[in-house]
Amino acid sequence: MSGVAHRITISVGQPADLEAVASVERRCFVEGRRSSVRALRYGLRSPTQTVLVAWAKAFGAPRQVAGVLVLHRRPQSMRIYSLAVMPAFRGDGLGSRLVQKAVDSARRQKSLYLSLEADRRNKRLINWYVAHGFEIVGYRPDYYSEGRDAVLMRRMLRRPVSSAKRRG
């Protein structure tokens, strides 16, 4: 990040944040890996998705988008669909803060775990997620494209209640 001090706030994205969220997608992902504007619009309004938006504000300057994390809710879990931090804000822990917000959200939803996919070739990213409590639980061949496999990762948040305990 530049030498300018920024105050970072993270909030749930609103439909009015569409252009800011789309700008992060354009800046941080190559064409075949970014979400469409239509998908982002849906995500900002969907009852089964949460878009976390990190905003940076320097004294005397307008706020600017610094990062985005998209979560999909499932019956027993949540999935990090996308995480991106603008280049100017990398290296200062913003990605970690966004992941922690996702963990907090998943715990509030009483999810068993938080999951994600990462490019199997991106060892640095996989190791970053491992350092944040995720473990590799499988692989998806050709997930991103032919020959581009995904690593399936999961962070357990609570133990499942066994059927014997539920019966009492």
pLDDT digits (tens, 9 = 90+) for 2-55: 556 789 999 999 999 999 999 999 999 988 788 999 999 999 999 999 999 999
pTM score, two decimals? 0.88
Phi then psi for residue 155, to 5 deg, are -120, 115
Among 100, 109, 108, which residue's Cα sits nearest to residue 155? Answer: 100
User: What are 149-167's pLDDT values in tens digits?
Assistant: 999 999 999 887 765 555 5
> How far is the C-alpha of 33 from the C-alpha of 111, rounded, in Å?
27
> How far is the C-alpha of 77 from the C-alpha of 80, rounded, in Å?
10
